[in-house]
Amino acid sequence: MSHRAGRHFLQIPGPTNVPDRVLRAMDRPTIDHRGPDFNRLARAVLDGLKPIFGTHHPVVIYPASGTGAWEAALVNTLSSGDLVLMCETGHFASLWRGLAEKLGLRTEFLPGDWRHGADPAAIEARLAEDTKREIRAVCVVHNETSTGVVSRIPDVRAAIDRTGHPALLMVDTISSLGSIPYRHDDWGVDVTVAGSQKGLMLPPGLSFNAMSQKALVASKTATLPRAYWAWDAMLEPNRAGWFPYTPATNLLYGLHEAIVMLMDEGLDNVFARHARHGEATRRAVRGWGLEVLCADPREFSDSLTAVVLPEGHDADRVRALILDHFDLSLGTGLGRLSGRVFRIGHLGDFNDLTLAGTLSGVEMGLALAGVPIVREGVRAALDFLVESKRPTSLPR
């Protein structure tokens, strides 16, 4: 491939752009994972992750993609044939369900239209019906990366609580953690699943489980086979800052730096930044005269936006053209949304001018592709960025 000048714009909703600081932090010798320097690093990351998950309990780190942490959540807490209630929010919810089925779990899928989040009322109704308490877990994807829709986890928790049902609540936060507010403890989540390559600004290769006391108790009697994913085998050495097998040392250097960066900016500021960029992006989409896939404004995702193309226009053709002309990668339509939407990632290491560049590339690409748009999207987004800029005190 011939050289392309300037920076590639990687605006898919994960993997996200890895900041130079994180790249530099990883560019170091791999050290003895049974030595004192590693021990300090391990303790720092195991502790440093807790505020990001909003938990006081331990967080387990796997050298694996997010899919591994999905599997870990299920095999540690459930037994063969257990019934799991899942919510059809989109492609990632469907994949998690498929994985659960392969593990020998029985799943029930609450139907969804891929434009809304998990429906707390439907969950409540189904649990209330389950007088025999057969359902062992409710699984929800917090930020459905295929649709740009956020499920309201506190409402789901309240719905479960109203029924008094003992099912565990498991939440996939792979594309929301570190971008959108999330509180594992306060929201009463039993298992949180996360990954490294989205809001945490790392390369792919790490994934995480946070767990509640209730989930730990369930793990004592759960009988699905597990070895590599076993929480107890991980938690025991972790207490002293060690791992049961060779950890992904260099990714942990990067994780340490990413945690420092998130804490330095302040999580609330990180969330406010994402909220502002989410709103600006939606204004751009409306400015173009196009439609945001998410149908409920309470559920808009601030980490990505899925844009619906008018009938007769292939979203993948537009994406290919934008990559070719502007060196900008956008997310493809997944599953049943294939060809119908493209997704703009606005999460991770991202600022006003990255957004301006991204939206400019999209606007030019839509025009080049002959999609009937109004060339007012970028303008609307920039206006909002200016209006919503917090006043800073410049020296006079």
d(CA 381, CA 86): 36
Alpha helices, H only, 288-351: 315-326
Of the pair 200, 371, the CB lying nearest ligand PLP is at: 200
Q: Does 331 bind ligand PLP (CB under 6 A)?
A: no
Of the pair 14, 348, the CB lying nearest ligand PLP is at: 14
d(CA 281, CA 264): 26
Q: Which stretch binds ligand PLP (CB under 6 A): 46-54, 172-180, 232-240, 354-362?
A: 172-180
d(CA 32, CA 35): 5
d(CA 68, CA 229): 8
Of the pair 270, 334, the CB lying nearest ligand PLP is at: 334
Give rounded-to-5 percent helix, strand, coil for the chain: 45, 15, 40
Least distance CB 163 / ligand PLP (angstroms): 26
Q: Does 67 bind ligand PLP (CB under 6 A)?
A: yes
d(CA 339, CA 331): 11
Report the helix count and the strand count for the chain, using DSSP H and E.
Answer: 13, 14
Of the candidate residues 66, 178, 199, 377, the single one contacting ligand PLP (CB under 6 A) = 66
If one counts every other C-beta atom within 10 angstroms of the C-beta of residue 349, the result is 16
Q: Does 117 bind ligand PLP (CB under 6 A)?
A: no
**CA-angle at 119, arms to 118 and 122, nearest 5°:** 130
Cis peptide bond N-terminal to 63, omega within 30:
no
Least distance CB 216 / ligand PLP (angstroms): 23
Q: Which stretch binds ligand PLP (CB under 6 A): 28-36, 63-71, 110-118, 121-129?
A: 63-71
Least distance CB 137 / ligand PLP (angstroms): 16
Which residues ranging from 193 to 232 are in contact with ligand PLP (CB under 6 A)? Answer: 195, 204
Q: Which stretch binds ligand PLP (CB under 6 A): 44-52, 65-73, 131-139, 224-232?
A: 65-73
Q: Does 174 bind ligand PLP (CB under 6 A)?
A: yes
- How many residues touch ligand PLP under the rule CB under 6 A: the total is 12
What tokens does 45 get? 């990351």
Of the pair 331, 365, the CB lying nearest ligand PLP is at: 331
What tokens does 56 get? 């006081």
Of the pair 45, 95, the CB lying nearest ligand PLP is at: 95
Least distance CB 229 / ligand PLP (angstroms): 14
Closest CA to 377 of 291, 288, 309, 293: 288
Q: If you search the block for the tokens 């945490």, which residue do you land on?
A: 200
Residue nearest ligand PLP, Cβ-based: 66
**CA-angle at 365, arms to 361 and 371, nearest 5°:** 140
Q: Does 65 bind ligand PLP (CB under 6 A)?
A: yes
Q: Which residues are at the interface with ligand PLP (CB under 6 A)?
A: 14, 65-67, 92, 141, 145, 172, 174-175, 195, 204
